[in-house]
Structure 1
Amino acid sequence: MVFKRREKRGLHRALWEWLYPKGGWARAYSYIKHRLRRLPGTPEEIARGVAIGVFTSFTPFYGLHFFVAWVLALVLRANVLASLLGTFFGNPLTYIPIGATALGFGHAFLGKRPESDLHFGLGEMFARAVTELAANIAAFFSQTPGDWTYLVEFWHTVFFPWMIGGVVPGVISGLVIYAITVPAIRVYKNRRKGQLAAKFAEIRRKTLLKREDDSGA
């Protein structure tokens, strides 16, 4: 295969590169910025896609962020690839701040007070919820009794508050990113158009000079 890795990554290395990308987060940011600039579409479509991806990062649908962003991008006529890149706003560096903010808003809307250290155990809670859900699905097909106690508690304590609480900071963050991205993409595309126009003009000039030299000879 053309794109097959020369060296297979072990689980430990894969987890480490997920937490800290190869080359560092600065390089990862530069790569995403480079890809965004070269995406086809208008600056508004691209910026709308990025904003959707950022908004999606504030939802509790971990493992489904790409799918959610893709659907929203199609509905809102945004650049789909930009929306997928925008989901990288949610990463190991931002998961805890995003979770704490979303849960804070969610519990406030519901008139509840979350546990002070709730956001520090979110990863473990999500992992257990996925495990419990898989076990209950398996129990359903094997016609054995399942236990939904933890999932019900998880829904009321984490998932539902996060889902409604992530809307406000998600929308605000998306609008801020949109306002920043539109002019940045527009400047880059206009500059690139100018560079391409200058390049073609230079090629045309050299072609005309060559024709004149050939005709003179």
Structure 2
Amino acid sequence: MASSEKSGGLGAFVKTALIRSYKRFVRIRGNPHEIALGFALGIFVGMSPTMGIQMAIAVFLASLLGWNKLTAAAGCWISNPVTAPFLYSMTYLTGAHFMADPPNSHLTFALNLDGLLSLLRNAPGIFWAMFLGGALLGLPLAYLGYRLSYLAVLRYREQFRATLAKEGMLLKRTGDSIRRRMRTKKIRKRGRTISRKKQRWRS
């Protein structure tokens, strides 16, 4: 019972966090094309084996290219402490598959000194395998991120404009109604004034 409540609370927390992040993202000011390009760049950099400096790289490149720096930083979060083990495994396996001499052919998988030394000796090869795999997987993911973010920003802005137009119509109707009431009051007031003057003349 307690575990189900905890899982439900965690799920609600994650859902709320995602909704808030989405709303903050689509409300970012700027050109939708540049916003989407920055996000795509962040995703591409986030797939590279440069955890720890990914945001710095993405923001630097975005500033050079004139793309949105905020969304570039946001896109890097595709790799985070939760997703990094899976993503880096996929990038390594993908890159190693396309290498003529993959580093896993020289690795010694053992939890001892020999295994550690084997890993260190092959570190450059592992890095390049992950870099190649990250580029191959990052390109389609970046394109998908661009399309989704571009459409999301456009949709939000269209909805926002529609809401403003609707509120403007309501304000206009309210103003027209107030003006009509004021005219009616003035007409009634004039009518009462005229009737009083007539009564005075008769008397």
Matched, 1:93 2:61: no
Task: Return the offset for 1:156.
Answer: 1.0
Matched, 1:159 2:148: no
Residues 150 and 24 from structure 1, CA distance in 2 versus in 1: closer, same or farther, beyond 3 angstroms? Answer: farther
Q: Name the counterpart of 1:111.
A: 100
Percent of pairs with identical residues: 25
| TM-score for the superposition, normalised by structure 1 | 0.65
Q: 2:45 aligns with which of 56, 61, 86?
A: 56
5+ long unaligned stretches in structure 1 = 1-20, 119-148
Matches within 5 A, 1:125-204: 153=121, 155-204=123-172
Matched, 1:42 2:31: yes
Q: Name the counterpart of 1:207.
A: 175
Task: Return the offset for 1:157.
Answer: 3.7
CA contact (8 A) 2:32 2:150 kept: yes
Residues 101 and 42 from structure 1, CA distance in 2 versus in 1: closer, same or farther, beyond 3 angstroms? Answer: same
| TM-score for the superposition, normalised by structure 2 | 0.69
Task: Return the offset for 1:93.
Answer: 3.0
Paired residues in the alignment total: 168
Task: Return the offset for 1:195.
Answer: 0.7
Residues 69 and 154 from structure 1, CA distance in 2 versus in 1: closer, same or farther, beyond 3 angstroms? Answer: farther
How far apart in 1 are the matches of 2:104 and 2:97?
12
CA contact (8 A) 2:102 2:125 kept: no
Residues 196 and 90 from structure 1, CA distance in 2 versus in 1: closer, same or farther, beyond 3 angstroms? Answer: same
How far apart in 2 are the matches of 1:23 and 1:81?
26
Residue 41 of structure 1 aligns to a residue whose secondary structure is coil
Task: Return the offset for 1:28.
Answer: 2.7
- The letter for the 2-side match of 1:95 is A
How far apart in 1 are the matches of 2:65 and 2:152?
21
Deviation beyond 6 Å, 4+ runs, structure 1: 149-152
CA contact (8 A) 2:47 2:135 kept: yes
Residue 194 of structure 1 aligns to a residue whose secondary structure is helix
Task: Return the offset for 1:170.
Answer: 0.8
5+ long unaligned stretches in structure 2 = 1-9, 108-116, 186-203
How far apart in 2 are the matches of 1:70 and 1:91?
17
**1:176-217 deviations in Å (ceiling 9; x for gaps):** 121222223222211111111111221232123323333443
